[in-house]
Structure 1
Amino acid sequence: MTKKKLLRVGLIGYGYSGKTFHAPLINATPGLSLVAIASARPADVLADWPDIVVKTEPDRLLAHPGVDLVVIASPNDTHHPLARAAIAAGKHVVIDKPFTLDLREAEDLWVRAERAGLLLSVFHNRRWDNDYMALCDIVRSGELGQIVEFTSRFDRYRPEVKKRWREANVAGAGLWYDLGPHLIDQTLQLFGMPAAVTADLALRRHGAQAVDDFHVIFHYAKMRAVLAASTLVSGGTPRFLVQGTQGAWSVAGLDMQETWLKAGLLPDSVGWGVDDRQAQQFVSCNDQITTKNHALPQGNYAAYYAGIRDALLNQQQSPVTTLQARDVMRILDIARQSDAEGRRIALI
């Protein structure tokens, strides 16, 4: 592991994810120094980061001797080859979700990183959404009793298909690869691996070329989890809804950290991670239902890169381990198989 007190970071890709999430969060994390960015649009990078080293080709960044950690935020179909090259160059690696295109590619990178003694992690930042953190607290408290159903939705209203790779007919495009990893990771962290999966991955919009709607069921022994997202929902659905034998809990809307990052705010801004949404808890007692409102805790995307720093400098566990990221890829693959074959797929 790296023994330096300062980790020098190189970022590959300066599209939406690199510009909005990775560059500002890396720069805001003590102990990390963003020293280089590889992008096909160097002028865009220099407009935001005039003092940084800019490379137009990823291999030139990988050859940079002053880079300890490489962050890959390029299109999904480049994740595996770029991460493989970074590991071969002796760099620690963070990959934006999804890890890779499939489980086979993910396991290949896992083996290579293990053999090289390098950190390999995936940016599952939505573990630090304020609504998800509140959800974890209420479920783990036991106040809702035995959980019988969990619903996680991430809906948007985007009826027009845009000309961009995320919505094109290319490998790794579509909503299942874009939002699916978030919902899968959150559910696995809370409830573990399901016994089986049933998936419906659809193209709903006129002119759609990639999945823009999904409805996936995780089957557990005594509960089910429903993961769903759509580009044609204009409102009316909760972000999370959990039903238990002693009550229920729900929250609507979305964590605001992405919006704030887009606006140029940073995690040290006053009030960061706190919004005015409230969760509702429905308590069942003696056939009576009462309602309680709860403020949400402070969200904290910066915790991910602080965890990467501590894993490398202080030998702590990675905030998202390779095993956890591999499990997400397993579910992504199995859901695609379930949809293609029109049946429930058993995992265990």
Structure 2
Amino acid sequence: MSAKIFHIPFLTQTPQFKLHAIVQRSPKEGNSAPADYPDIKHYTDYKDLLADSAVDLVVISTPPNNHFELTKAALEAGKHVLTEKPFVPTSAEADKLIEIAKKNGKLLIVYQNRRWDADFVTLKKIISEGTLGRIIQFDNHFDRYRLVPSKNWKLDLPLSQGGSALYDLGTHLIDQAYVLFGKPQSVHGRLLSQREGKFDFENPDGVSAELTYPDGLLVNIRISVLSAELEQPRFWVRGTKGSFRKLGLDTQEDALKAGAKATDADFGKEDPARYKLVVVDDNEKAKEQTISSIETPTYKAFYAQLGKAVESGKEEDVPVKASEARDVLQIIEGVFESAKTGKDVTLA
């Protein structure tokens, strides 16, 4: 899904890129890259793609247990690499890939696209402008009601190989907290199988994590598959001067799945009723203010920045640095350790 829904439509709209080739090991009816894209090259072995001298950038959109091997091979073949999230299963593997990219003079980018969700871009703007004052608590949710799990690799792949809700969705939520506030001082985590009603360290579908910062800021990460709501909570941010709430997920992914294009006039726009901003006036009275999502450049902005980075070859132009994704993995590892031991984990 990732390649067809996200990467290919946006890459082909970005001036610096031209779709040259696709690797698909076993094309079949209804899922065939050669049938969908007949005018480009097709390979069934990634090694053949890496030997293609016309390839400048390789996009890795396989399950995460393959990311390290494929990313390493592409970097050593002299290609820039964009790797899907979760980057790799461990921060140690991330460090190795960062070193390999540096040694080969190539850019390594991680696809943390939810940094460009319209609601998150709006939230960043509200916080940076000081509208809420000093932030004291941030609740970041990804909740659904899904009693029967979807059948895909995310169900089968264990946490140790980059599977489970902690890596699949937790990567997004923890990355957003990292973008806003940096690396926490300590973490506390609980991992659960909500469907089975037990703690689960192999393939949890529920996550509850607390990230604590030196100034008293508390970030709550919540993932649930059994949240029966008409509209799910997304963000709740409280500060010394106000609060901000958002209901429902960003619309871009569902719109793309439904066949919308990023060039559509209303792409990425949301109903203002999903946003609630409350600010405190000089008399300490709370008043609700109308707010809409800002005119976000949507996920196109990621690929525009990616094009600039590949064109310049400069690390500072990369939209999501591998070192940042490594830091997020260290937080995830802390959550996992805490869930196993029942203790807070201090991060270096």
For 1:169 and 1:297, the matched residues in 2 are separated by 37
Describe the superposition over 1:224-250 as per-residue Cα deviations: whole angstroms up to 9, x where unpaired. 000111111132542111001111111
2:81 is the alignment partner of 1:66: no
For 1:163 and 1:146, the matched residues in 2 are separated by 43
- Structure 2 equivalent of residue 178 of structure 1: 168
- Structure 1 equivalent of residue 294 of structure 2: 297
2:259 is the alignment partner of 1:264: yes
Describe the superposition over 1:99-123 as per-residue Cα deviations: whole angstroms up to 9, x where unpaired. 1010011000000000111000100
- Structure 1 equivalent of residue 71 of structure 2: 83
Query: Which letter maps to 1:306?
Result: A
Measured after TM superposition, the shift of residue 152 of structure 1 is 0.5
Query: Which letter maps to 2:287?
Result: T
- Structure 2 equivalent of residue 333 of structure 1: 333
2:34 is the alignment partner of 1:22: no
Measured after TM superposition, the shift of residue 34 of structure 1 is 1.1
For 2:324 and 2:157, the matched residues in 1 are separated by 28
- Structure 2 equivalent of residue 253 of structure 1: 248
- Give the 3-state SS of the residue equivalent to 2:233 in structure 1: coil
Matching residue within 106, 109, 112 for 1:118 = 106
Query: Which letter maps to 1:338?
Result: S
Of 308-317 and 119-128, more deviation after overlay is shown by 308-317
For 2:310 and 2:150, the matched residues in 1 are separated by 39
Q: Let me know the Cα RMSD of the aligned residues.
A: 1.7
Identity level (%): 37
2:224 is the alignment partner of 1:230: yes
2:140 is the alignment partner of 1:152: yes
2:188 is the alignment partner of 1:193: no
If the length of structure 2 is used for normalisation, what is the TM-score?
Answer: 0.91
Query: Which letter maps to 1:346?
Result: T
- Give the 3-state SS of the residue equivalent to 1:343 in structure 2: coil
User: Contact between 1:25 and 1:302, CA under 8 Å: does it hold in 2?
Assistant: yes
- Give the 3-state SS of the residue equivalent to 1:34 in structure 2: coil
For 2:152 and 2:306, the matched residues in 1 are separated by 31
**Structure 2 stretches lacking a partner, 5+ long:** none
Describe the superposition over 1:261-304 as per-residue Cα deviations: whole angstroms up to 9, x where unpaired. 11222222222221224421112232422111201023411111
- Structure 1 equivalent of residue 151 of structure 2: 163
Measured after TM superposition, the shift of residue 27 of structure 1 is 1.4
- Give the 3-state SS of the residue equivalent to 1:226 in structure 2: strand
**Structure 1 stretches lacking a partner, 5+ long:** 1-15
2:235 is the alignment partner of 1:240: yes
Any runs of at least 4 consecutive aligned residues in structure 1 with deviations exceeding 3 A, and if so which?
Answer: 206-209
User: Contact between 1:28 and 1:267, CA under 8 Å: does it hold in 2?
Assistant: no
User: Contact between 2:144 and 2:232, CA under 8 Å: does it hold in 1?
Assistant: no
User: Contact between 1:272 and 1:298, CA under 8 Å: does it hold in 2?
Assistant: no
- Structure 2 equivalent of residue 38 of structure 1: 23
Q: Indicate how the Cα distance of structure 1 residues 273 and 298 shifts in structure 2: closer, same or farther if over 3 A, else same.
A: farther
> Alignment length, in residue pairs?
333
Query: Which letter maps to 2:115?
Result: R
- Structure 2 equivalent of residue 321 of structure 1: 321
Of 57-66 and 140-149, more deviation after overlay is shown by 57-66
Measured after TM superposition, the shift of residue 213 of structure 1 is 0.5
- Give the 3-state SS of the residue equivalent to 1:47 in structure 2: helix
User: Contact between 2:59 and 2:81, CA under 8 Å: does it hold in 1?
Assistant: yes
- Give the 3-state SS of the residue equivalent to 2:334 in structure 1: helix
- Give the 3-state SS of the residue equivalent to 2:47 in structure 1: helix
If the length of structure 1 is used for normalisation, what is the TM-score?
Answer: 0.91
User: Contact between 2:143 and 2:233, CA under 8 Å: does it hold in 1?
Assistant: no
- Structure 1 equivalent of residue 276 of structure 2: 280
Query: Which letter maps to 1:336?
Result: F
Of 136-145 and 169-178, more deviation after overlay is shown by 169-178
